A and B are shown apart, each in its own frame.
Chain A
């Protein structure tokens, strides 16, 4: 038996024994995920049990090195672990911006002390992070950010305002873009700092969205003291890290659309009926659904192709530039179709009859997908200029 087969058997046995039954049920929404932190939101006590057991083996972040709280697994082993988790329907034990965003950036750009300090706490779900990027005057044009970090010897004093900080009201620490220098071009003079949200001078206020939920906040910094040991990378070179993380974020958002289970066409037939030939009763809606499913199929094939090309050593081709744009636009189309198929039932906002507005709220929330993390228009600008080489003015 190969080592990988042995690993699979051991993993299967361990998961069978350690994954609590309640953690083998589907996650219904983004808000249901376990995110850890000093004051974790706990829907079910087994979330903590499951997270702790996995963290003990380093399997909340199986691909990270062991010395930073990871599992130290090879790519193949990580794949096996994910397959085995999927086969019993195991939930992800811990999801956080620390794992998906800051961690990879720390591994690449952080110094040894920073890695030792922060990575194990992310892996164990002890500290929950948020991201301080956008500002009221710096959305699509992120590099024009104005939050100021003044050099005071061994520390900075930070003043300014961030907006669209996801879960800032629930996070323990923030990774934040600040301006340490105003003299160069707008991309220069940006620095990447980390600090505790409990530091005096930090306040947050949730923003209520059209979907009724408040995943984002406004965050205010009023003379916030940040020690220089919490500067990540070089002073003034934070834009490099920011770009790296934006790529990560875009990949995450483009993944929102990959829903599983029954196809939307089949769902439509169940709720609206079909004619004798099996065609959905509304022919116009049917065409829209077919075109959507066709595009989803071709998009999925493209994701596979890009992965296969990268594995074959061909690098990340220009096609990767379309992920954020196309994935989010597809997700918006899907949500519009859900609304069209559901009719009255999809327009409900409250009450059991309407599942507390599951469909309508998801539909409204999807509108933000093509805005957050770089608007579709910014993505198209990037493709035009960087991939097609079309000229500036």
Chain B
């Protein structure tokens, strides 16, 4: 596929840019933060996003979605990155729906996907247990007792946990931490007995939470896929999730960079515009080059999902590692080049670095993905 947007994709991108700049901008995020918003995002704005079809943008039409593919979703996420828009897009659209499509039975897909596409239901993944992303190391136990499974353990960094209607919990029904085999996906209702959800206040002012399972009993029909066989669907979902987060990081990086370049053209010191100093010019030009590379590798990876490319894991780790690197540089330079004003909470440039680090961390950071990319490349 040519590395250019189709007319339809360009339209999605433009309409997302317009809508999010108006309805879900950084000033709205600031307001959500400062008012200690109960939900952590604007429910009315989320409803409007759903009405535009975004909640089902990558879901097939037969399950109530728009079927625009992950390239379409990626373009929306890129714009969400530019505006730092708070919404359950990442949790339920990028990750939740994808994992259901990967692992669910036809009946489960028919029941769950239309509910996500219509905004009725927010479904989120409960996977991470330690400080770092390490899916094979999952240790939370699920013991079979009669017709049920009993879950014990706790999960953290669960996106939109306190507003979720359902969780997909990954637990171990066999094997030991480190094994890919033996992992099982369970659908858990937010109201299940023995489940506690604690909202975490993270640096990016977005929703995450700690979910604890104390003898939570799950019926067999709420297994997503076969017992012990969750790995391949989970792995593919994580690949897609990382590419989607890379698209968000691209938007964050581009916006932080463009704002910084504008500032270099306004700010005067020593009697001249600071943008005329070669020391800053070359750093900006190098960053520009990196951002062009970032654009290409993200678009290529998004298209690879939609083309069902076999080497999707290579695309995902390459793309996420590169975007973690570029986003880190763009947001750091953003603050440094803004100088003192960049350190103030009043200025918006500081919001980018906060969200970037959380998006970088989610589902594996630069170190995780560079290592994985090298392994997948034969060294």
Contact = CB atoms under 8 A, between A and B. Distances in A.
B377 A293 contact: yes
A388 to B, nearest CB: 5
B296 A274 contact: no
Interface in B175-224: none
A312 B2 contact: yes
Interface in B1-53: 2-4
Interface string A359-393: 00000000000000000010111011101111111
Given A380-B281, A390-B284, A289 B296 contact: no
Given A308-B3, A383-B285, A269 B273 contact: no
Where chain A touches its partner, the secondary structure class is helix
Nearest to B272: A393
Interface in B257-299: 261, 264-265, 272-273, 275-276, 278, 280-282, 284-286, 288-289, 292-297, 299
B152 interface: no
A322 B288 contact: yes
B374 A286 contact: yes
A304 interface: yes
A385 B264 CA distance: 12
Contacts of A302: 292-293, 295-296
A326 interface: yes
Contacts of A291: 325, 370
B318 A305 contact: no
A301 interface: yes
A295 B321 CA distance: 10
Nearest to B323: A298
A279 B281 CA distance: 39
Interface stretch (A141-149, A171-179, A260-268): A260-268
B294 A298 contact: yes
B288 A390 contact: no
Contacts of B273: 391
A391 B265 contact: yes
Contacts of B286: 380
Interface in A212-229: none
Q: Which of B294, B295, B296 has the most CB atoms of chain A within a 10 A radius of its CB?
A: B296
B292 A319 contact: yes
B96 to A, nearest CB: 29
A122 B374 CA distance: 45
A42 interface: no
B302 to A, nearest CB: 12
Contact of B377 (A290, A304, A383): A290
Nearest to A308: B2
Given A309-B4, A314-B4, A280 B293 contact: no
B281 A294 contact: no
Q: Which of A265, A274, A389, A390 has the most CB atoms of chain B within a 10 A radius of its CB?
A: A390
B294 A268 contact: no
B288 A305 contact: no
Nearest to A264: B379
Given A294-B318, A380-B286, A391-B276, A305 B295 contact: yes
Given A308-B3, A314-B4, A390 B264 contact: yes
B299 A305 contact: yes
Nearest to B261: A388
A278 B378 CA distance: 7
A384 B293 CA distance: 17
Where chain B touches its partner, the secondary structure class is helix
Contacts of B375: 277-279
Interface residues of B, number: 39
A44 interface: no
Given A380-B282, A383-B288, A301 B374 contact: no
Q: Which of B284, B297, B299, B374 has the most CB atoms of chain A within a 10 A radius of its CB?
A: B374
B280 to A, nearest CB: 8
A112 B348 CA distance: 60
B172 interface: no
A287 B370 contact: yes
A386 to B, nearest CB: 10
Interface size class of A (residues with CB under 8 A): 35 or more
A261 B25 CA distance: 47
Contacts of B322: 294-295, 298
B338 to A, nearest CB: 15
B363 interface: no
Contacts of B278: 381, 384
B7 to A, nearest CB: 11
B285 to A, nearest CB: 4
B33 to A, nearest CB: 32
A314 B7 CA distance: 13
Contacts of A277: 375
Contact of B378 (A263, A377, A392): A263
B300 interface: yes
A280 B370 contact: no
A195 interface: no
A265 B379 contact: yes
Contacts of B2: 308, 311-312
B373 interface: yes
A304 B296 contact: yes
A19 B358 CA distance: 58
Contacts of B292: 302, 318-319, 322
A325 interface: yes
A299 B318 CA distance: 12
Given A266-B379, A278-B379, A388 B293 contact: no
A300 B261 CA distance: 26
A297 interface: yes
A297 B233 CA distance: 26
B134 to A, nearest CB: 14
A3 to B, nearest CB: 23
Given A299-B293, A302-B293, A390 B275 contact: yes
A298 B322 CA distance: 8
Contact of B276 (A295, A305, A325, A393): A393
A153 B130 CA distance: 84
Contacts of A269: 378-379
Q: Which of B273, B292, B322, B325 has the most CB atoms of chain A within a 10 A radius of its CB?
A: B292
Contacts of B264: 390
Interface in B337-368: none
30 contacts: A265-B377, A265-B379, A266-B377, A269-B378, A274-B379, A286-B374, A294-B321, A294-B322, A294-B370, A298-B296, A299-B293, A302-B293, A302-B295, A304-B296, A305-B3, A311-B2, A318-B292, A319-B292, A322-B288, A377-B282, A380-B285, A381-B282, A383-B285, A383-B289, A387-B285, A387-B288, A388-B261, A389-B265, A390-B261, A390-B281
Interface of B: 2-4, 261, 264-265, 272-273, 275-276, 278, 280-282, 284-286, 288-289, 292-297, 299-300, 318, 321-322, 325, 370-371, 373-375, 377-379
Interface of A: 263, 265-266, 268-269, 274, 277-280, 286-287, 289-291, 293-295, 297-299, 301-302, 304-305, 308-309, 311-312, 314, 318-319, 322, 325-326, 377, 379-381, 383-385, 387-393
